[in-house]
Each structure stands twice: as C-alpha cells, then as structure tokens.
Amino acid sequence: MGELLAALGVKFQQQGDVLDIDATHISHSKAPYELVSQLRASFFVIGPLLARLGVARVPLPGGCSIGARPVDLHVRGLQAMGANVQIEHGVVHAYVTGASKRLTGAKIYLDYPSVGATETLMMAATLAEGETTIENAAQEPEVADLANFCRAMGAKIRGAGTNTIVISGVPHLHTTDYSIIPDRIEAGTFLMAGAITRSEITLSPIIPDHLTAVLAKMQEIGIRTVMESHNRMRLLPQQRYRSTDIETLPYPGFPTDVQAPFMSLLTLAEGDSVISETVFENRLGHVPELNRMGADIRVKGNHAIIRGVPMLSGAPVVGTDLRASAALVVAALAAEGKTTIQGLQHLDRGYEHLELKLQKLGAKLQRVQEDTTTEPTAEPVDAPPIGSST
C-alpha cells in the first residue's frame, strides 16, 4: 500500500508503528497494475483520487481468491455522485466533468453492506459539493474508525457505525495525527491459538465490543475470558470444548475473517459443528488442508460440517488465502508432529510478524526459505503438543 501511494506522488515513510503520509502533491491519477493486483484494498484509492483530482484510473483489484467481490457497488455510487465511469481492458477510468471537477452529493443505497464500497464512497463524499447519504452502509468498526480519521482532518460525517451515513462535503481536509483501532481479526486469531493449545494468554490492546459475536461463540463451546482492564483480556481455556453452529454475517454478526481460525478450533471440539459461510462463496479452501491434518470436515455448498476428532497430525499444507493460512497456523500449533505451511504471501498481508508474536508465547515455529528442489515432507519429530509451521 505504501508503494502504491508513493507511485501516486504521496510521500510515505514508516518508522516502527508510525506512518508518515504527506499527500500535499499527488502527481499521478493512475494506479500501477502490478501493485493493485496484489492487494484488494489498493482499489480504495479511487474515491480519494476522484475527490482530489477529478480523475482516477485504477485497475480492477487482486487479492485473495475467496469469491466474487465485484466493484459495481463502488462504480454505481461514484456515478450517482456525478462521475463518468468506464471499464476498459481491466482498468476503471473515472472522471468528473465541469469547471470545478468536484463530485456532487447524492443519495446512495447499497444493495449489500459492503465495507469496501462504504469506505470508498464515504471518502469520495468528504470533498463533494453538498450532502451525501449512504443507506444500507457497512457498520464494521473499521468504517467508524475511518470516519473518525476523516473527521480529525476536517470532514463532516455522522452516522458511521450505523446503516445510514451522512457526509457533508467540505472544500479540503487538513493534517492530523491519529491512532487506529486494534485489529479485531488478529485478536480473534490469537484467541483461537490460545484456545486450541489450551493456553492461558493475555491480549492487549483490544476493544471487546468489536469481538462480541466471537466471544459469544467461544463462551458457547466452553471458553471463558476475563477483562483485566478496559482493553486487556485474559483467555481461560478448558480441556474439553463443545460443538456449535456458526453463520458468518456482516457486522455485528460473526465475522467471515474469523471463520477459518475458528474452524480449526472446532476440529477438536466434541460432537458435530456446522459453519455456514454466507459472505463469500469460495471461503472454505482451508477444509481440504485441515483434513490433511486429520480433521473430519465435509462441505455441502456453503456449509462445512465439522466432526470433532481427538487430535490433529502435522502435515505439509498450503494456505489458499489470508485467513486460511492463519487457520492452518492455528491448527499446526495443536497438531502432533511437524507441519509445513506454504503460501505465506497471503498470511503476510494480514498479520505483522505473526511468527515472532507466537514465539514469544512459547510456540515452536520458524519461517524458512522454501526449498524448491524437494517436496515438503511431514517428518515426525519428538516434540510437545505444540507443533511447528513454516
């Protein structure tokens, strides 16, 4: 993302966990294909570019192959705000005519509460002339956080975090310093890692309200959590877990991004669990890989039926997408023997130094350079129940 912003003329620097972004002189309106094709979030630049320059040329996005994620909601919303949009040769070309080259406020109804479309249109509307209303907007915490960030720069936004967001356009935004919210999906992944290894761990900082659906399902299967402070949680796992049924939904429902790691945990729960994936139609790619590790999972349409097994075994597996890779890491921590996981390019898009954080918790895992001359093998090793992963 930093490389993409730099390609547009933004001065971008990272020092530790601080990003310094100077967007004073945006000099290019075309985003490079080789960068957008790697990260779906790259497409989000279309809204700010259109609002700032009156023109944007952004290739159709790449990212994880977890199902159809069309940009038609983005396009229809921008068109409602007065943009001309054409899609040719895989590139979305949007521009605003007229002397001011400014978008105009509009009433927009989203057919689906898409996070990406909500954020794109909200950003575009911050500099539009007049008032924009987004109905059936996504309510995810990240949408509210983005709105707070824009407000800190002078935007006029109300209703973010509800299904109706109203944006009153302003002539320009100004500089600000801002701290983003903790990553609820990373927190959920660590909760799964602690639970599956029966490990008492503490997570901080977290916002428990962002994890309500996940914590409810954890409690249902027999996992307790205790808040040690307003943003510090302690996981109190049990030796035996019950089965449960989960249906992924837009926020505040159960998050699709925690579905895969939670499935890893349910492979060791007693009884039969059912996970219904309703957000993306191709987000069960981790099932065959978990079965390679000894899980008993059957897929019927968008439903996965998980029959709990006594243990998982290490095996060579491949992460097919970001959260599938995280699920395999979670499973590998509890599997007996060695697990080798390929596909870390997916994992690295959503987790920073995951292996180092897990190592600090006592996990035995390391990142190694892949040897392309030999096939990965699942050699048994003398080790405690915590496995190892590549």
Active-site positions read 64
Helical ranges in 99-230 per DSSP H: 115-125, 141-152, 184-196, 212-221
What span, in angstroms and rounded, lies between the C-alpha atoms of 18 and 133?
33
Cβ contact 234:275 at 8 Å: no
SS3 category, 287: helix
DSSP string, 223-283: -EEEEEETTEEEEE--S--B--EEEB-STTSB-HHHHHHHHHHHTTSBSEEEEE--S-TT-
359: CB partners within 8 A, 6+ apart: 365
195: CB partners within 8 A, 6+ apart: 218, 223, 235, 237, 241, 265
Amino acid occupying residue 358: L
